[in-house]
Amino acid sequence: GIVITPLLLLLFLGSSSSVPFTSIFSQLFMTVVVPLIIGQIVRRYIKDWLERKKPPFGAISSCVLLMIIYTTFCDTFANPNIDLDKFSLIIIVFIIFSVQMSFMFLTFLFSTRNNSSFTPADTVAIIFCSTHKSLTLGIPMLKIVFAGYEHLSLISVPLLIYHPAQILLGSLLVPTIKSWMVSRQKALKLTRQPKAPVKV
């Protein structure tokens, strides 16, 4: 994401545009990569302590994500310059749901091919992990790449819809995907069981 996004900007905007790519790369590196590296280094030294104490990182993460979503929604729709009518918003929602469903369907087809070595559990992980994107990375990237752009709020609308859409679609598809996975695992177990010798 931090490499491809600026390259796509260069491709679509052209090399003659005044986009500060060096500044974008450095800011994205400091915002995304450096905290990740520091976290991995610190984790090596406090891993045992974390396993003993078990801090509620899950709840903290959910609260932080909720605050990011809330503040981003507030920043977006409180902007008086945002020009988005209801019909356009409905079209965007429809497109995003279609894109999300298409991605999930394509990853399902790819991971269940005959020559694929993926297990049913792998397929479920691929469907959800490869098609889901988070606001926690997307919003900082937008704010860095499009810093100072007057229509930043408008640009963030698809991402604001995409994130809740993936949660909604995921929750709706879980029962179906779970039943598929269980039945597929049972079928694989039956095919792998050695056949009883036939008595003559």
Q: What is the pLDDT, as a whole number, of residue 106?
A: 92
**Residue 82's pLDDT is what?**
67
Statement to judge: residues 85 and 4 lie in one domain? no
Alpha-carbon Rg for the chain, nearest whole angstrom, is 22
- Tell me, what's the pLDDT at 53? 83
Judge whether 191 lies within some domain.
Answer: no
pTM here is 0.64
**Band of pLDDT at residue 38, cut at 50, 70 and 90:** very high
In this prediction, residue 129 has a pLDDT band, given cuts at 50, 70 and 90, of confident
- Convert the pLDDT of each residue in 138-184 to its tens digit: 777 777 777 777 777 777 788 888 878 888 888 888 889 899 999 98
Mean pLDDT lowest among 1-10, 15-24, 44-53: 15-24
Amino acid at 153: S
Question: What is residue 196's predicted lDDT score, i.e. its pLDDT?
Answer: 56
Task: Please give the average per-residue pLDDT across 40-60, as a whole number.
Answer: 85
Q: Do residues 133 and 162 touch, judged by C-beta distance below 8 A?
A: yes
Q: Is residue 62 part of a domain?
A: yes
Same domain, 71 and 105: yes
Residue 62 C-beta-side C-alpha neighbours within 13 Å: 3
Q: Write the DSSP string, the chain.
A: -TTHHHHHHHHHH-TTS---HHHHHHHHIIIIIHHHHHHHHHHHHHHHHHHHH---HHHHHHHHHHHHHHHHHHHHHT-TT----HHHHHHHHHHHHHHHHHHHHHHHHHHT-TT----HHHHHHHHHHHH---HHHHHHHHHHHTTT-TTHHHHHHHHHHHHHHHHHHHHHHHHHHHHHHHHHHHHHHHHHSPPPPPP-
Which one has a higher pLDDT value, 4 or 197?
4
Q: Are residues 48 and 73 in the same domain?
A: no
Say if residue 60 is in the same domain as residue 155: yes
Domain holding 28, by residue range, is: 1-55
User: Are 145 and 9 a contacting pair, CB within 8 Å?
Assistant: yes
**Same-domain check for residues 98 and 41:** no
Mean pLDDT of 47-66: 82
CB 108 within 8 A of CB 125: no
Residues 192, 180: Cα–Cα separation, whole Å: 18
Same structural domain, 62 and 83: yes
Average pLDDT over residues 29-54: 85
Categorize the per-residue pLDDT at 78 as very low, low, confident or very high, splitting at 50, 70 and 90: confident
Measured between its terminal Cα atoms, the distance across the chain in Å is: 64
What distance in Å separates the CA atoms of residue 36 and residue 108, rounded to the nearest whole number? Answer: 30
Q: How many domains does the chain have?
A: 2
Q: Are residues 149 and 88 in the same domain?
A: yes
